[in-house]
């Protein structure tokens, strides 16, 4: 029971953050074309990879670097044309 009490604030915080993210995602798709909102939100994968490289020193393979580059370019292009 001590473990449950120890992690309860962390679990509640994660639940609130996750639920809030889905709610805001729903609002974002309501105000614009769904394809554009989904495409831009996929940029979070590139951001997560960049943060992993920068803060955790993760090593990526060449195809993963290429994927980050293509994803970032696509997100920037979509943001520019919208």
Give me the pLDDT at residue 22, please: 82
Considering the entire predicted model, what is its pTM? 0.50
CA distance 28 to 34: 8
pLDDT tens for the chain, residues 1 to 82: 566 678 888 889 999 998 998 888 777 777 667 666 666 677 777 788 888 888 989 898 999 889 888 888 887 887 777 6
CA distance 22 to 61: 31
Torsion of Cα atoms, 41 then 47 then 52 then 58, to 10°: 100
Torsion of Cα atoms, 20 then 16 then 76 then 49, to 10°: -160
């Amino acid at each position: 029971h001590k473990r449950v009490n120890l992690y309860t604030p962390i679990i509640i915080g994660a639940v609130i953050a996750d639920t809030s993210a889905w709610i805001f995602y729903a609002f974002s798709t309501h105000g614009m074309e769904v394809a554009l909102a989904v495409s831009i939100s996929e940029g979070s994968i590139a951001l997560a990879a960049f943060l992993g490289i920068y803060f955790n020193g993760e090593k990526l393979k060449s195809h993963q670097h290429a994927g980050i580059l293509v994803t970032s370019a696509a997100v920037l292009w979509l943001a520019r044309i919208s």
